[in-house]
Chain A
Amino acid sequence: MALDTAPTKTSPAGPGERRRLVARPATWIAWGVFAFFFVNLAGVIGVPLVDSFGERWFTTWLPEGFTTHWYGDAWEEFELGQVFSVTLVVSVLVVGLSVLIGVPAAYALARREFPFKRLVMLLFLLPILVPPITYGIPLATVLYKFQLAGSTSGVVLANLVPSVPFVVLTMTPFIEQIDPKIEAAARMCGARTHAVFLRILGPLLLPGILAASVLVLVRTVGMFELTFLTAGPDSQTLVVALYYAAFSAGIRTQQSIDAMAVLYTLSMLVLLVIAMRFVNPAQLVTRSREDT
């Protein structure tokens, strides 16, 4: 339903009507749940943030004084320069390769009905549905066997396993909604296959590819389990380095761990803001456009 006709058409628009049809108790519960959730979320994010700028903080509400030197310490202590560059390399490779492999597959799935299509769909669905830790252990075992694990290439390969299907599943509905008649029309105008792809499909697919890339980027930077299982000391991404730092708490100063956590949060938030420009928030957690 178009926005401009919405107010005068029958149903779903009117705010007043909505209020009437919905249960009042639900309103209270809803805002209660939201408020509780967000207060605690603020706490969870706020504590490391405050701590990372604090000097000494024991039992008071706030630290005794504020400083920024933990960030410098963390950068040195955890070799964050190297960690950031590994993270960047891994995510760029994963995004590029998963788009290269995933988009053509999505095109074939969107445009053709063929025997065993459901089986192929299932193959693309499983790596997203099965939690990474479950298949990550046998996958890491295999990668170790072929001496691929413990290096950047192993991390990239492992991260591609959920990323390729993710690109396929986000791009398939996107390609489906592009009318195949447009391609037919281009061919009727005399365009050959490569011209159809380059001049017609390419521009039409670009927004979808951008959205899928951003989503894969967010997921790769945040992917803990697979990277954790396959990374060696020189191929840790930020989230894995953070885990090791947090796990060794007591040896390291808490504030520099928190400084690192804040840096991770910040980079994720930047990515999130970028992602929001391209996609609907629901897409970040579910796998396809509508998921129904």
Chain B
Amino acid sequence: MARIDSLALDGVTRRFGAHAALSDLNLEIAGGEFIALLGPSGCGKSTALNCLAGLLPLTSGSIRLDGHRIDHLPPERRGFGMVFQNYALFPHLTVRANIGFGLKMAGVPKADAATRVERALDLVHLTDQARKRPGQLSGGQQQRVAIARAVVLEPRLVLMDEPLSNLDAKLRLEMRTEIRRLHQSLGLTTVYVTHDQEEALSLADRLVLLKDGRVQQTGTGEDVYLHPANRYVASFMGYRNMLTLPVLDADREQAVLAVGGERLTGRNRGSVGAGQRATAALRPEDITVTTAPGGLRAAVEVVEYHGREMVVQGRLKDGQEVHFTTPERLAPGDDVRLTAPEHRVLVFAEGPS
């Protein structure tokens, strides 16, 4: 029913005393879009979600839905659906009554409500469990009830607060697919909060990366993955090697860094200049072990077996740790030479990002 055209957050700020949990969040969400708010705990992503839901009043800023201000409305009048981190299922009501709760509150006629509840039960494959209480269900089933309860009203916006964080690894993968499937079949505009970059990448159309209440980068999964805006985003997106190195030479495109007596060339992403110190961000899987001369020399220290490949911790000549993956069988004490394609080495300015 209610498909929205746009949801605009404008300068949304929330303070707790002197502490700004969320500062100046600007975000435009299109109808049907799947947005992930991503960051570690305490970054402000849950605050943002609660502000959207109406569970937390804003300190300043505005939220507009199709041009109408909604930030002064209480949660029950916003018409959003929300999936809580701990599911927040009503323990004294059956699965069916949990899913039907919102319809009852909205005064939907009984017969109509019943069919819609049945449809929602079917959608999440829980028809057989409808008479049970939430306490009798497994974690994954409870999760599906929570989702069904949020989407049965066909809300204008679905909010999900780390819905998968209480599930074990296998179930998490299954539910991820399930959520993606539901989003595709219902086309509901969704804002999804998570601290798991893999989850965010696999689900979302666009990601919003937060740190200390401030947006670090907004973009598609590919954007954020391949072109992190700063050191912080890079380290969060799996650039495990953060080497602090002096800059030998730099222009707008490239930067050449010194590692002991050797050189590492990368993309200049932080407008660094020669003579400064910079940080080179590298993913372990972008590094290859080479026999050709010219790579960085490293001594192997720890080797972990990960099935198809080895995850290796080594030490560069200047004493910094380096992590890389390789199919080769290495042993502690081996000397190796490492290279990485120039466009996969991101050079950021040193200091606070």
| Chain A residues at the B interface, C-beta cutoff of 8 Å | 5, 7-11, 13-14, 16-17, 20-21
B46 at interface by CB-CB < 8 Å: yes
Docked CA distance A11–B47 (Å): 9
Q: A17-B50, A20-B74 are in contact. Are A8 and B56 (CB under 8 A)?
A: no
- Give min CB distance, B260 to chain A, whole Å: 41
Instruction: Report which residue of B47, B161, B213 has the largest number of chain A beta carbons within 10 angstroms of its beta carbon.
Output: B47
The proximity string for B residues 5-24 relative to A, scoring 1 for CB distances below 8 Å and 0 otherwise, is: 00000000000110101000
Per-position 1/0 for B41-74, Cβ under 8 A of A: 1111011011000011100000000000000001
Contact of B55 among A7, A8, A11 (CB under 8 A): A11
Within the complex, which residue of B47, B57, B74, B84 is in contact with A8, where a contact is CB–CB below 8 Å? B47
15 pairs from A and B in contact (CB 8 Å cutoff): A7-B16, A8-B41, A8-B42, A8-B46, A8-B47, A9-B41, A10-B49, A10-B50, A10-B55, A10-B161, A11-B55, A13-B16, A14-B16, A14-B56, A17-B50
Please indicate the chain A residues that have their CB under 8 angstroms from the CB of B84 in the complex. 10
CA distance A290 to B44 in the complex (A): 32
On whether the beta carbons of A17 and B56 are closer than 8 Å, the reply is yes
- Measured CB to CB, the closest approach of chain A to B173, in angstroms, equals 24
If A13-B16, A17-B56 touch, whether A7 touches B50 (CB-CB below 8 Å) is: no
Which B-chain residue is minimally distant from A6 (CB atoms)?
A: B16
Q: Looking across the interface, which residue of chain B has its beta carbon closest to that of A13? A: B16
User: From A21, which residue of chain B is reached at the shortest CB distance?
Assistant: B55
Residue from B17, B43, B46, B74 within 8 A of A10 (CB atoms): B46
For the complex of A and B, 6 pairs with smallest distance between CB atoms: A7-B16, A8-B21, A10-B46, A8-B42, A16-B57, A17-B56
Separation in Å of the B309 CB from the closest CB of chain A? 36
A20 CB contacts on chain B under 8 angstroms: 57, 74
- Residues of chain B contacted by A8 (CB below 8 angstroms): 16, 19, 21, 41-44, 46-47, 213
In the complex the two chains form, what is the Cα distance from A21 to B55 in whole Å? 8
SS of B interface (majority): loop
A20 to B16, CA, bound (A): 16
Least Cβ–Cβ distance between B211 and chain A, in angstroms: 12
A16 cross-chain contacts in B, Cβ below 8 A: 56-57
Given the complex, which residues of A lie within 8 Å of B42, measured CB to CB? 5, 8-9
A residues less than 8 Å from B57 (CB atoms): 16-17, 20
Of the candidates A10, A14, A21, the one whose C-beta lies within 8 Å of that of B85 is: A10
Residues of chain B with a CB closer than 8 A to A13's CB: 16
Known pairs A7-B21, A17-B56 / 8 extra A-B pairs, C-beta < 8 Å: A7-B19, A10-B50, A10-B55, A11-B55, A16-B56, A17-B55, A20-B57, A20-B74
| A7 with B17: CB separation less than 8 A | yes
Smallest CB separation, B221 vs chain A (Å): 25
Residues in chain A near residue B21, CB distance under 8 A: 7-8
Inter-chain CA distance A14–B19, complex, in Å, is: 12
Minimum CB–CB distance from A22 to chain B (whole Å) comes to 12
Instruction: Determine how close the nearest CB of chain B comes to the CB of A27; give it in whole angstroms.
Output: 16
How distant is the Cα of A10 from the Cα of B82 in the complex, in angstroms? Answer: 13
The CA of A9 and the CA of B41, in the complex, are separated in Å by 8
A119 to B21, CA, bound (A): 51
Q: What per-residue 1/0 map shows which CB atoms of B79-99 lie under 8 Å from chain A?
A: 000001100000000000000
Complex-state Cα separation, A14 to B54, whole angstroms: 12
A13 to B56 CA separation, bound complex (whole angstroms) = 10
Give CA–CA (A261, B5) in the complex, Å. Answer: 73
Assembled-state Cα–Cα distance A20/B46 (Å): 18
A17 to B51, CA, bound (A): 10
